[in-house]
Amino acid sequence: MLSGLAEAESAGLSRGVQVIAGIEMTAARLQGRRAVHLLGYWVDREDAALLAALARARRLMETHVDTVLAAIGALGIRLERSHLEGYRHRYAGGAALVFGMLQRGVLRGLPAGTGMRLLRMAADEPRAYTLREAVDLVHGAGGIVSLAHPAKLRRGEPLQTAAELRAYAECGLDALEAWQWIPHGWGSEHYRRVADELGLLVTGGSDDHGKRDAEGRSRLGRQPVTAAVLEPLSERASVWRARRAPRSA
Ligand SMILES: [Zn+2]
């Protein structure tokens, strides 16, 4: 979603803080069913193709949520959209459905197979774009693309090698998120080396979706990133901006 950017930009202006228009997108993974997160920086927040793709992703997810809620309703159990409010980051999706089902006791008393079917159905989220399509959308909007939190790509294996990430890089990535929210600080060193090997620039961030750490503090703004990364990233973004198709008048 790009809807908060205008407000962020004007707040930045009044406080002397540089705001870079950014977005996190969820794309279909190369193989397998899980998703991959991409970060776009310096995107034009009014880019028509990007906005249309985001709207399509949102509509697909709404339909998915309705389908799962209807399947639950068909069993005579009530779970409504409003019950999912507390679990959503941006808008309700598979995770909100799963949390909603578990915490509101939807599965209680159901045969195990039926409960499992509902959970699988909820988790099987639709994807509006492949990784390559998402990369092209961001580039088309004049932005650069970084692979978000590679440490989360495979559960329990935070340190991915360059060989493991090459196929992602070849989808057109500009950068890799080296500074990311993983316990300890050891990941950034590793991922800076991996980025180097893959010929990628580096980014960093807190991946904040309103999540809290173990002490209940917000992550927002608490992932330091060296300022030296900014210039090469901004230069790359100007290359993509220059390549944009001229807008039809
Ligand atoms: Zn993410």
CA of 176 to the centre of ligand 1 (A): 13
The per-residue pLDDT for 178 is 93
The per-residue pLDDT for 215 is 81
The per-residue pLDDT for 20 is 93
Q: Where are the domains of the chain?
A: 5-56+128-243, 58-123
Is pLDDT above 90 for 218? Answer: no
CA of 36 to the centre of ligand 1 (A): 8
Angle between helices 48-73 and 94-103 (to 10 degrees): 30
pLDDT 10s digits, 225-247: 888 999 999 999 999 999 986 65
* CA 193 – CA 34 distance, rounded (Å): 26
CB 42 within 8 Å of CB 230: no
Helix/strand number for the chain, H first, E second: 8, 5
The pTM score is 0.89
Q: What is the DSSP letter of 6?
A: H
CA of 247 to the centre of ligand 1 (A): 31
CA of 208 to the centre of ligand 1 (A): 8
Is pLDDT above 50 for 249? Answer: no
The per-residue pLDDT for 4 is 85
CA of 119 to the centre of ligand 1 (A): 21
CA of 78 to the centre of ligand 1 (A): 31
Sheet holding 175-179, edge to edge: 22-28, 35-41, 144-147, 175-179, 201-204
> Looking at domain 5-56+128-243, what is its CATH homologous superfamily?
Metal-dependent hydrolases (3.20.20.140)
The per-residue pLDDT for 248 is 46
Average pLDDT score over the chain: 90
CA of 108 to the centre of ligand 1 (A): 31
CA of 147 to the centre of ligand 1 (A): 9
